[in-house]
Amino acid sequence: NLSMDGVSSTYNLMRWPFTWENFDNNLLYFKKHIDQVSINFTAQILNIHNLLESIEYANSRTIPIRIETVRRAPWLSWSVLTDNERDIVVGHIQNQMHQARLLSNQKYSIIGVLKEIRETKHSPTDRDMFVDKMHKILSLRNYAVDIMPLFPDLNIRVKNGK
């Protein structure tokens, strides 16, 4: 099993200092030399916008993908998001689902993630912790790009550190 937390720039952010190109090459190598290769994708606020693209990537490589949600890091969980931000995520994913080619088990997994997003209550404490930690991480990495395309207000808070 390989962990993949997104494709392209999302992967680069999540797995820094590793790169998407290296992951893709390694995955193709493993697929060629190992009988059973699969991908684990842990959905959280930094990569939820990339969920469907990640599934389509796995499908294009005919590699099973297992979708989970983050459990042990409240500062990366759905509780960071406001009610409006959770609505944006759900709408975004639902729109993408209509265009994507998904297996039935993938649809059920996504529906489960969406249910969890909807049912999670906002926590100002978790949000403040997210802003603080991500501000420090991005400052250390010299990373100036917006990291969450669905949440411009949260991006601004992370950049400013407050």
**Contact in structure between 15 and 5 (CB atoms under 8 Å):** yes
pLDDT in tens, the chain (162 residues): 899 999 998 999 889 899 999 999 999 999 999 989 999 999 999 999 999 999 999 999 999 999 999 989 999 999 999 999 999 999 999 999 999 899 999 999 999 999 999 999 999 999 999 999 999 988 888 876 677 888 888 888 888 887
7 DSSP assignment: S
**Residue 122 contacts residue 79 (beta carbons within 8 Å):** yes
Give the helix ranges, DSSP H, for 1-82. 9-14, 20-33, 51-60
Angle made by CA atoms 65, 118, 109, in degrees to the nearest 5: 20
pLDDT value of position 130: 94
Residue 142: predicted pLDDT: 82
Token reading at 15: 């797995």
